[in-house]
Amino acid sequence: MRLTPEQHAQFERDGYLFFPGRFSPEETRVLTDAVPALYARREAYNVREKGSDAVRTNFAAHLYSEPFAKLARHPRMIEPVEDLFGERLYMHQFKINGKMAFEGDVWQWHQDYGTWKNDDLMPTERAMNVAIFLDDVNEFNGPLMFIPGSHRRGVIDAQHDLTTTSYPLWTVDHALIAALVERAGGRGRFEPDGRYVPGGIVSPKGPAGSMILFHSCLVHASTSNLSPWNRVSVYLSLCAVSNHIRRFKRPEFIAHRVFDPITCLPDDCLLKDYPVDLPWKDGMPGSALVTSSAAIDDEQKAA
């Protein structure tokens, strides 16, 4: 799947692209059916909500789950980012975020690159997320919210929030959020017929199988899920190979340390039997928990 010139221009302007129903119901069901068994595991790679047993984030499923290993190599998710960067990619992070019914907590306003820069020493923002909805996403079950064009602000100084949720995040000051929203169009407006015209916050919603591609500096957040409907999404955090991280401060199941370029499978890979490597199928290695605050230079990594 390659991007058109118009999509390139839209991404440069808004910082994201939305593809409703990009994966078929049959393809999406292959992934959805695999989630409960992954969430049931009592492993470090399942981060649960604060004060709850609900999974907030499952990490690195592409290393031990065949359906998600295939998704990690899917051309519909890999090729558009290769188009934008003009370079091969590696998997920096793989997440299945579970905004579960009644229990899914907030994700504060942040840039993804803020965390990747501060924690992982990723050199530049040549990385981004591609997300796929595994559930229908509506206005009630905690959809993502974006500030269009906020990626053009560049890298924003962030504060490390260690207390709001169970997952530490480098978050953006509320005063700056207000200014960015105002610059992007303010609060929006209602037309005489009652139709709402979005302003400085947008929220892509659509059926399961929809896909979003968004810039690593695009400021985004999501509210808690008080509805009776789950909102589970998969996120591939894809990084240009030349832009690989320089520090292993976080466990390997969160920030990956293999920088080999991704080779795509055929487009029908979710519905057909293609072999994939599952290096953690027999358990996560102890080395994945080893961390270091020291910067790693390229010569050390090549040794």
CATH of the domain at 157: 2.60.120.620
Residue 273 has a pLDDT of: 95
Per the structure, how many domains does the chain have?
1
Task: Specify the 3-state DSSP secondary structure of 48.
Answer: strand
Nearest partner of 202 among 217, 183, 216, 187, judged by Cα: 187
Q: What is the pLDDT of residue 303?
A: 39
Looking at residue 165, what is its pLDDT? Answer: 79
Model pTM? Answer: 0.91
* pLDDT for 157: 84
pLDDT at 2: 84
Residue ranges making up the domain that contains 22: 5-302
Segments in the chain below pLDDT 50: 299-300, 302-303
**Tell me, what's the pLDDT at 82?**
96
> What single-letter DSSP state applies at residue 295?
B
Q: Answer for the pair 24, 209: CB distance below 8 angstroms, yes or no.
A: yes
**250 contacts: CB under 8 Å, gap ≥ 6:** 119, 120, 291
Q: Give φ, ψ of 10 to 5 degrees.
A: -65, -40
Partner residues linked to 197 by β-bridges: 189
Judged by DSSP in three states, 29 sits in: helix
The CA–CA distances, whole Å, from 255 to 115, 144, 170 equal: 11, 22, 15
Tell whether the torsion through CA atoms of 276, 48, 175 and 157 is positive or negative. negative
User: Which pLDDT value is given to residue 78?
Assistant: 97
Which tokens in the block code for residue 137?
A: 């996403």
Using CA of residue 262, residue 277, residue 61, residue 167, what is the dihedral sign? negative
pLDDT at site 298: 57
User: What's the rounded Cα separation, in Å, for the pair 65 and 71?
Assistant: 10
